[in-house]
Structure 1
Amino acid sequence: MTATATAPPSALHRDRRFRTFWISETISQFGDRVSELALPLIAVTLLTATPIQVSVLTALIWLPNLLGLFLGAWVDQRTHKRRLLIAADLIRAAVLLSLPVAYLFDAITLTQLYLVALLTGVGAVLFAMARQAFFVALVPRSAYVDATSKLSMSRSLSFIAGPAVGGGLVQALSAPVAIVVDAVSFLGSALLLSRIPVTEPPPPPRRTSTLGMVREGLVLVLRHPVLRAALGCTSTVNFFTFIASALLVLYASRDLDLSAGAIGIAFGLGALGGFAGAALAPRISRAIGLGRTAMIGVVLFPAPLALTALVSGPTWTKVAMLAAIELVSSIGVMLMDVNLNALLAAVTPDDARGRRAGAYSAVNYGTRPLGALVGGALGATIGLRPTLVIAGLGGVLAVLWLLASPVRHIRTLDEPTT
C-alpha cells in the first residue's frame, strides 16, 4: 500500500482522512493513560501485589509482541487492514470492561488481571501490525516526519492530562471503575476508523509459506543497516527503561508514599516535555539532521531515570522532582521516536510492512517483558532505588548502536539509507 496524496506536510491537518485517524488515535491514547495507572494500582492496592507480581503484570502486557513475527506475516496477506484495526479496538474494549464488572461482584483476582493484561496486549499487537500499512495509505513519504510528529504530540498530550485525570478518577471512582474510560476510548476509536475511506489493494500473490514470510521479515530487519541499528538501539533502551517502568508506580506509592492523585500530577507535568519534544522534533531534525536528533533523544530518554533514586523530601518536593525527571525523559523519547519511526517507514518496502513490523516488534517489544521481570527481580533483591540507577545508566548504552551505523550521517529521508 502506498500513499497517493501529494500534499505538502503543512496540509496534513486539512486532510480529512488523516485528521480522522489523528483524532481516533488521540482518543485512544487518553484512555490508555488511565489504564496504565489503574492496572498496577489494582494490583498494589486491592490485591496487595509484591514487586515481582507487579513486574509480571507489566511483562504480560508486552509478551504478546512475540506473536508479531507471525501476526505481521498474516497481516501482510490481508487486504482490509482497516477492519483489523477496528477488530483490535473492539477486542480491547471488551476485555477491559470485564474488570469493572468483576469489581461490582467483588470478584477481581490477580489471575483475571493477568489475563486482561495478556489479551489487551494481543489486541495492541494486532493493531500495530495493521497500522503500519494503514499509515502509508494516508500519508505521503514527504510528510512522514510531520505526521509522526503530530501523532506523537497527541500521545504526549495524553501523558500530560491523562495521568492527572486518571489519578483523579482512580481516587474518586476506584481503579477498576476508572478503566471504563479506556474501554469507551477504544469504542470511539473503532467508530472513527470505520469512517475513514481508504483504497486497500489486494496483497501480491504469496510467494512462500507463512514461516517463509516470517523468515523474510527477520532477514530484512537484521540485514538492512538502518533497520538493524534502529532495532539494536530501541531494544536496548526498552530493556533498561522497562526495568524502571515496571517499578515506578510501586516506588512512588510505597517508598515515596505518594497518593494516586500526586503520582498522576507528577507524571502529567513531566509529560509536558513529551509534547515539546514531539513538536520540536521536525524542526530540530531539519536543523542538525535526523540521525543526530535521534541520538540526542536516545541519551536524554533513559539518563534521567537514574536520578529517580534521589527523590526525597516533603510531598511537593517529591512531586516536583519526579515531574522534572519525567520532563527531560519525555523530551528525549519523542526526539528518538519521531525520527526513528519516520526513518523506519521510509526504508521499509511497501509489500513487507507487516512482516517488518512483526519482526521488529517481536525483538524490540520482546525485551520489555524481559526488562520488567529483571526489574522485579532486582527490586526484590537489591532494592528499588539501586535498580532505578541501573536502569537509567544502562539505557544510555543504546546510543552506541546508532553511532556505529549509517544513521548518524542521515540528515533527511531523501538521502540513501542502505
Structure 2
Amino acid sequence: MLELLKDRTYIRYWLSVVSSFLGDAITKITLIYVVATETGNPVLYVSLVVIAQLLPSGVLGAFVGPLADRIPARLLMVGSDLIRAVLALAMITVRDQPLLLLVLVLLSGVGKAVFETARITAIPLVVRGHSIPTAVALFQSTNHTLNLVGPALGGLLLAIGSVTAVFVIDAATFVISAVLLGSMAVLREVPVPGPDSGRESYWRSLRTGIGGVLAVPSLRFLAVVLVPVMLALGLFTTNLNSQLLAVFDLKPLDFGLSQAAFGAGSIAGALTGPPMVRRFSDRKLLIGSIVLFGVSLLLLDPTGRLRDSLGVSVVLVWCLVAGLGSGLFQVPVANTLLSDLPEALRGRGVGLLNALMVNFTILGVVLGGVAADLIGIAHSIILTGALLLPAAALLALHSLRGARRAGTAAGPATADSEVAR
C-alpha cells in the first residue's frame, strides 16, 4: 500500500475520488435535512430522496457500460463531475419546491452512475504496476471513512452556516475532482476496442457485452453470489439503525459510537482483504466473507441477551464484526471483476454487475421493511444470517463440483487452475 501512496498518478486520482465522494456524502445529508424541514410530508420526501439517489445506478448502470468501453474515462468522469456541480448549485433555487428538487436529485444520480462506472473501469489504468486488490482496498476503506465523515461534516456545515453555503461547497468538491481528473493523461486513453466494436450499434454492443461477461465462469459465479448477499446487505442496512435505536434504545452518544464501530469494522475488512486475496483464491474468500457476515447477523441474538449485563460494549463489538464481514466481501468482488473482465468488455461488465448490486440492494431495503413489520426487527436480521449460511454452503458445493468436472475433463493442471479461481 505504501508503494501506491508514493505514486503521484495514483495519489492525484485518489484525491479526486475523495473530493467527489465527499461531495456525494455532503449532498446526501443536506438533501435529507432540506426535505425533512421544508416540506409538509418529511417522511415521504426523505424516502423519495434516498430512492432518487440510488435508482439511476440500478436502472442505468448496465446501459452506461457500452459508453465506458468507447469513451475515455477522463471525459466521462470530468463531464459527470461538472454536471453534478451545476446541479448542486441549481438545487439552491428550488430547495422550497420538492418536486423540482427531486428531479435534480435524480439527474445527479444519473451523473453518479456514469462517474462510478468510469471510475471502476479506469482503476487498472491508474494502478499499472501495482496490486489491484490493494488499490481496491484503499478505495473501499476511503469510501467507508467518507461515509462516516461526510454526513458529520455536512451536519456541522449546516449548523454553523446555511443550506446555500453547503450546496456551494458541495459544487466546489465536484469542480476540484474534475480539475484533478482532467490533468491525468492516463485517463485520456481510448478503451481497447473489441474485434467488432467499431461496427456494432449501441444495442448490439450492450447485448454482446452481457453475453461476453456471463461467458466468463468466475464472473458468472460472481453474479450468482451477489444476489443473496446484496439482498442481505439491503435488509441489514434498513434495519440496523432501527435495531440500535428502537430495540437497543441507545442514547445519541452510544448510537454514534455504534455507527463508528460498524464503519471501523468495514475499513478493517477492506484493509485485510489484499493479504487474504494473496493467500486464498477470490472464490474462497468470497464464500468465507459471506459466512463471516452471516455469522455476525446470527450473533445479534446473544448480543441482545448479553446487553443488559455487559452494557453497550457488547453492541459495539457486534457492530464491529458485522462491519468486518461486509467490508471484507467487497475486496474479492472488486478484484474478480477487474482481474477477470476482458479489457474490451470492462465498461460493460462493471456497469452490469454494479447494476445487479444496486438493484438487489434496493430490493433488500424494501424486503427489510416488510420483514421487520411481519416478524420484528431483530428476528428479520437473525433470519437473514440463518439464510446466508446455507446459501454459502450451496455456493461452496457448486464451486467444488465445478472444479471436479474441470479436473475430470482436462486433467490435474486445469483442475488446479479452476480451484484457484
Pick closer, same or farther for the CA change 1:32–1:415 going to 2, 3 Å.
farther
Tell me if 1:136 matches 2:130.
Answer: no
Counterpart pick for 2:81 among 89, 97, 119? 89
> Helix, strand or coil: the match of 2:185?
coil
* TM superposition shift of 1:84: 0.6
> Helix, strand or coil: the match of 1:301?
helix
* TM superposition shift of 1:21: 0.7
* TM superposition shift of 1:407: 12
Question: With structure 2 as the length reference, what TM-score do the two structures score?
Answer: 0.78
Question: With structure 1 as the length reference, what TM-score do the two structures score?
Answer: 0.79
Pick closer, same or farther for the CA change 1:377–1:183 going to 2, 3 Å.
farther
Pick closer, same or farther for the CA change 1:92–1:350 going to 2, 3 Å.
same
- Per-residue CA shift, 1:262-286, capped at 9, x if unaligned? 6444322331222222222222233
Q: Which residue pairs with 2:228 in the alignment? A: 236
1: CA distance, partners of 2:286 / 2:386: 18
Which one has the bigger helix percentage?
2
Counterpart pick for 1:187 among 170, 175, 181? 175
Q: Which residue pairs with 2:399 in the alignment? A: 405
Counterpart pick for 2:139 among 151, 162, 176? 151
> 380-389 or 41-50, which moves further after superposition?
41-50
Q: Which residue pairs with 2:351 in the alignment? A: 358
Instruction: Say how many residue pairs are matched.
Output: 399
Task: Spell out the pairing of 1:160-199 with structure 2 (5 A cutoff).
Answer: 160-169=148-157, 182-198=170-186, 199=188
Pick closer, same or farther for the CA change 1:56–1:77 going to 2, 3 Å.
same
* TM superposition shift of 1:394: 4.1
Pick closer, same or farther for the CA change 1:338–1:190 going to 2, 3 Å.
same
Counterpart pick for 1:11 among 3, 8, 17? 3
> Helix, strand or coil: the match of 1:67?
helix
2: CA distance, partners of 1:260 / 1:98: 34
- Per-residue CA shift, 1:372-409, capped at 9, x if unaligned? 22233444555544444444444555534642237998
Give the % identical residues. 26
Counterpart pick for 1:213 among 180, 200, 205? 205
* TM superposition shift of 1:193: 1.0
Q: Which residue pairs with 1:123 in the alignment? A: 111
2: CA distance, partners of 1:317 / 1:44: 33
Counterpart pick for 1:273 among 243, 265, 270? 265
- Per-residue CA shift, 1:109-136, capped at 9, x if unaligned? 3x45643543332122101221233212
* TM superposition shift of 1:332: 1.7
Q: Which amino acid aligns with 1:194?
A: G
> 247-256 or 263-272, which moves further after superposition?
247-256
2: CA distance, partners of 1:401 / 1:180: 50
* TM superposition shift of 1:140: 2.6
CA contact (8 A) 1:27 1:185 kept: yes
CA contact (8 A) 1:52 1:380 kept: no
Q: Which residue pairs with 1:201 in the alignment? A: 190
Pick closer, same or farther for the CA change 1:71–1:288 going to 2, 3 Å.
closer
Pick closer, same or farther for the CA change 1:48–1:407 going to 2, 3 Å.
farther
> Helix, strand or coil: the match of 2:50?
helix
Pick closer, same or farther for the CA change 1:169–1:211 going to 2, 3 Å.
same
CA contact (8 A) 2:267 2:324 kept: yes
- Per-residue CA shift, 1:82-115, capped at 9, x if unaligned? 1111122223333344555545xxx153x45643
Q: Which residue pairs with 2:331 in the alignment? A: 338
Task: Spell out the pairing of 1:12-161 with structure 2 (5 A cutoff).
Answer: 12-40=4-32, 56-64=48-56, 65-78=58-71, 80-99=72-91, 101-103=93-95, 107=96, 109=98, 111-112=99-100, 114-140=102-128, 143-161=131-149
Q: Which amino acid aligns with 1:330?
A: G
1: CA distance, partners of 2:46 / 2:385: 20
Q: Which amino acid aligns with 2:201?
A: S
Q: Which amino acid aligns with 1:87?
A: G
Higher relative contact order, structure no. (Cα contacts within 8 Å, ≥ 6 residues apart): 1
* TM superposition shift of 1:73: 1.2
CA contact (8 A) 1:88 1:126 kept: yes
1: CA distance, partners of 2:161 / 2:246: 21
Q: Which amino acid aligns with 1:349?
A: P
2: CA distance, partners of 1:140 / 1:268: 33
CA contact (8 A) 2:94 2:101 kept: no
> Helix, strand or coil: the match of 1:366?
helix
Counterpart pick for 2:321 among 311, 328, 331? 328
1: CA distance, partners of 2:127 / 2:33: 38
Q: Which amino acid aligns with 1:237?
A: V
Pick closer, same or farther for the CA change 1:44–1:327 going to 2, 3 Å.
farther
CA contact (8 A) 1:221 1:228 kept: yes
> Helix, strand or coil: the match of 1:405?
helix
Unaligned runs of 5+ in 2: 404-415
2: CA distance, partners of 1:154 / 1:136: 18
RMSD of aligned C-alpha atoms? 3.8
Q: Which residue pairs with 1:6 in the alignment? A: none
